[in-house]
Chains A and B, each alone.
Chain A
Amino acid sequence: MMSSWMNWGHPDMESLVEWADGQASPGIVAHLARCRPCWEQGLRIRDSVQAARRGEIPEGTLEEVLQELQMRMRGALAGGSNVAAALEHYFGKQVVRELESSTHWDAGQKPLLSGARPLFHAFLGRKAADALTSRLADVA
């Protein structure tokens, strides 16, 4: 039986990561031997793994990015009127009220986006839902 990646013609990201770790199946190896874009993508992942092992990325840079990320995560958690207003625009007041009541778990913290994500996912698909929720996180 053909594996799932073959149905689409190119290996998925999971298979490329396995290849970069030296755990790919013979089918993937054969595909990479004749497909330049996949080969380059696999090499890029493998190089990145090795670069991380060599300590190529300064610790300070990672710390800075982590701090910025934590701020954005707090924003996404805080919810608040900006996010509620943005969500109302898409779902209407009734749904946002429902979301607020189901996700309000601490004083001042309304992780509305986390609650709204399944909605976006159901209606928009994964990629668009990802883009929209992270954009709304920045609204907070």
Chain B
Amino acid sequence: MWWDDSPPLFLYRLLYRSKGESLPIQILIEKGLLFVLYSLKGARGNSMLRVVERKSPESGRTPGSKAAVDHAQSQVTALYHERGAEFLAYAMRLSRDEDLARDALQEGFLRYFIACSADERIESPRAWMYRVMHNYLIDRMKQVEAHKECELPQSLAYTSALEDRCFEQQVLARLESALSRREWECFRLRTEGMRYEEIAARTNLASGTVGALINRALRKIRRLVDPEAMKLRPMEQK
């Protein structure tokens, strides 16, 4: 098939920037972007090979050559011994999580190694490492936050078990009217015990969107329900 050999990279970039993470290119194909691939097919190929063959004008090393890789290894080792503790301390302060901090340190140095062995010129390796680790940690923390399953407030869990069906119906009607259709649907499915992925599959939404909708619904509900008195606030406080 004509698209087997090289899906265009700019789509990866678009997706990377829009979602903050990369996805398999097949997903794009499934999304009906074949016509875009086709239109780009002719412009590819030769220009890629020119990039591969490029040598650094300053060092004269070819990216990926033995000289470039040897140089990269010595650069990484020197920077690690000089600044490794400082970088790890920074990552721990930013993430407050030792495992995540260690990941960030490794990730930063691995990227530095690949960049050096590709003979990329880095003006200030120290600032470069700070920037890479910072971006990595922010991305990872966002991902964790987006996938965090929020707990239902105790008061709401209790509400669903109330023997007083009238009160329950009143609460549900009030909640439904306070939430948008999508918020209500996601929230209702969550109270039935479904996970975000299951809700996403059921509603044809992205998992992150489901999380956002449920969080927004919970914020609205917290404004509506007085948890201590176990009753709805008056309408005017809605």
Q: Which residues of B contact A (CB under 8 A)?
A: 5-7, 9-10, 12-13, 16-17, 22, 25, 44-45, 48-49, 51-54, 62-66, 68-69, 72-73, 76, 80, 83-90, 93-94, 102, 105-107, 109-111, 113-115, 117-118, 120, 123-124, 126-128, 130-132, 134-135
Contacts and interface: CB of A to CB of B under 8 A. Distances in A.
Contacts of B62: 102-103, 115
Given A13-B134, A119-B51, 5 more contacts: A45-B130, A52-B89, A99-B64, A127-B135, A135-B22
A51 interface: yes
A56 to B, nearest CB: 6
A66 B33 CA distance: 43
A124 B76 CA distance: 24
Q: Which 7 A-B pairs have the closest CB atoms?
A: A115-B64, A103-B64, A92-B6, A92-B5, A114-B64, A117-B118, A48-B90
Q: Main SS of the interface on chain A?
A: helix
A117 B114 contact: yes
A48 B127 CA distance: 13
Contact of A105 (B5, B65, B105, B120): B65
Contacts of B110: 69, 72-73, 76, 134, 137
A93 B49 CA distance: 12
A65 B113 contact: no
Contacts of B107: 134
Question: What class of interface size applies to chain A in its complex with B?
Answer: 35 or more
B45 A114 contact: no
11 contacts: A17-B127, A45-B90, A69-B76, A69-B109, A114-B64, A114-B72, A114-B117, A114-B118, A115-B62, A115-B64, A127-B16
Contacts of B85: 51-52, 55-57, 62
A23 B73 CA distance: 30
A44 B63 contact: no
A121 B73 CA distance: 21
Interface string A105-140: 110000111111111111111011011111101000
Given A44-B90, A48-B93, A117-B118, A133 B84 contact: no
A118 B63 contact: yes
A118 B49 contact: no
B65 A103 contact: yes
Given A13-B130, A69-B80, A73-B110, A95 B118 contact: no
A48 B107 CA distance: 18
Contacts of B9: 90, 120, 123-124
B73 A73 contact: yes
A62 B88 contact: yes
A59 B146 CA distance: 34
